[in-house]
Amino acid sequence: MLDYAVTLEFDKESEDKIQKIMDEVVSVTGCDYMKKAGIPPHVTLSVIQSDNEEALLSQMEEVAVRLKKGAVTFANIGIFNPLVIYLGPVMNEFLMDGCRMVNESLLKYSQAGNYGHYLPNQWVPHAAIAVKLSPDTLKTAFDIVQGMFTPFVATAEKIVFARAVPYEELRSWSLF
């Protein structure tokens, strides 16, 4: 079975803000997993495992038509100790509905991946800044993010369906 992810990507200004922070963390810590993998700034709505990519893509067509653009307010810095530092959005109806809609649609042809951490009511929405950190690089990364981050509102403008490891965008849809 293959691992897939469904992500939200943002307006250019917000993407640039997040990417600038990500780039500075890479520059100082050398933790460049996301950069090397070509993973853009995003919030993941679902992680699943399946052998039926065609059915998943068909379901995503339906989801993409139903999901509209939405506001995502990044309000805090978070940590999944000790490996990940992220920007945390305020949970809102747009994010809750998006997570629920994607999972309900895709789980007909798949099973939950990543230990179910992306299922509704188990999900902590986040935009990863750096992953695979050590305790020391986490502290350095936190100092960088703290110095660069101020809360902002992003607009989710695109939904993406990708193979998760290695990252490969399979299809994306603009949200209206």
pLDDT at 62: 96
Is CATH 3.90.1140.10 the classification given to domain 2-170?
yes
Strands 168-174 and 2-10, sheet pairing: unpaired
Q: What is the dihedral of CA 33, 150, 71, 12, to 10 degrees?
A: -60
Record the pTM: 0.96
pLDDT digits (tens, 9 = 90+) for 43-73: 999 999 999 999 999 999 999 999 999 999 9
pLDDT at 91: 97
Helix (H) or strand (E) holding 51: none
127, 41 Cβ separation under 8 angstroms: yes
State the chain's mean pLDDT as an integer. Answer: 97
Q: What is the dihedral of CA 151, 69, 97, 115, to 10 degrees?
A: -70
